[in-house]
A and B are shown apart, each in its own frame.
Chain A
Amino acid sequence: KQEVTQIPAALSVPEGENLVLNCSFTDSAIYNLQWFRQDPGKGLTSLLLIQSSQREQTSGRLNASLDKSSGRSTLYIAASQPGDSATYLCHLVVSPSGTYKYIFGTGTRLKVLA
């Protein structure tokens, strides 16, 4: 069974720090991996999508990488700001037996202090 773990579960840092959030998965047969942020009581905002054939994607201060062989994706946040405070979730689309399965990671709760 595919398991998706995010480390750390919670993180509190001063403004301006560069951050690395980790997403680990057990099965490398993925279609894509997507990073989201969720503000309290709100829906999910898509940050970056990495297709199975890609190694990384960048958007502004965000960079996400994918290493299928090691079962790991990292989300890099440069020069963190208080507005980055949110829960960050990774999401995998896999197809272990011909049908799609959709799996969310456990999440990292980030707080950036001004």
Chain B
Amino acid sequence: DGGITQSPKYLFRKEGQNVTMSCEQNLNHDAMYWYRQDPGQGLRLIYYSQIVNDFQKGDIAEGYSVSREKKESFPLTVTSAQKNPTAFYLCASSIFGDTEAFFGQGTRLTVV
């Protein structure tokens, strides 16, 4: 089945720790995205990538890092610099930057 897979579904982070969540797609899409969703604040763009080995900051990139070494993979690392990381994280992909986007099922990150 073609689609976008995010893992893990739940992720826990201790203070000062970096954590990484995975996003894999088998749709052969060039563009991939990471969004953060907070209750009452809607979805905000963290990073996006239009092509392999290239990515751009979104509206709230501070405290996050990404890599795009393979077309099908776009992992997101939440660093210790992100002081309020508890949120629902959604990954998306599209054929190109201005075409229909498809989303994964999300990763819920909690600070313990």
Which A16-69 residues have a C-beta within 8 angstroms of B?
Answer: 31-32, 34, 36, 41-46, 49
Q: From A105, which residue of chain B is reached at the shortest CB distance?
A: B42
Residues of B within 8 A of A100 (CB): 48, 50, 97-98
A43/B106 contact (C-beta < 8 A), A31-B98, A105-B42 known: yes
Main secondary structure of the interface of A (DSSP, over half): strand
- Whether B98 and A46, one on each chain, are in contact in the complex, defined by CB atoms closer than 8 angstroms, is no
Residues of A within 8 A of B102 (CB): 46
- Whether B98 and A44, one on each chain, are in contact in the complex, defined by CB atoms closer than 8 angstroms, is no
- Whether B45 and A43, one on each chain, are in contact in the complex, defined by CB atoms closer than 8 angstroms, is no
B42, B45, B88, B104: the one contacting A102 at CB < 8 Å is: B45
Classify chain B's interface size: 20 to 34
Q: Mark A89-114, 1 if CB is under 8 A from B, else 0.
A: 10101010001101011110000000
- Whether A43 and B103, one on each chain, are in contact in the complex, defined by CB atoms closer than 8 angstroms, is yes
Residues of A within 8 A of B98 (CB): 31-32, 93, 95, 100
A99/B56 contact (C-beta < 8 A), A31-B98, A46-B101, A105-B42 known: yes
Q: Which one of A99, A102, A107 has the greatest number of beta carbons of chain B within 10 Å?
A: A102
Residues of A within 8 A of B56 (CB): 99
B45, B97, B101, B106: the one contacting A34 at CB < 8 Å is: B101
- Whether A107 and B42, one on each chain, are in contact in the complex, defined by CB atoms closer than 8 angstroms, is yes
Q: From A107, which residue of chain B is reached at the shortest CB distance?
A: B42
Residues of B within 8 A of A91 (CB): 101
* Cβ of B74 under 8 Å from chain A: no
Chain B: residues with CB nearer than 8 A to chain A?
A: 6, 33, 35, 42-45, 48, 50, 56, 58, 88, 90, 92, 97-106, 108
User: Given contacts A41-B88, A104-B44, could you give 19 more A-B pairs where the C-beta distance is less than 8 Å?
Assistant: A32-B99, A42-B105, A43-B6, A43-B106, A44-B92, A44-B103, A46-B100, A46-B101, A46-B102, A46-B103, A91-B101, A93-B97, A95-B98, A99-B56, A100-B98, A102-B45, A102-B58, A104-B43, A107-B42
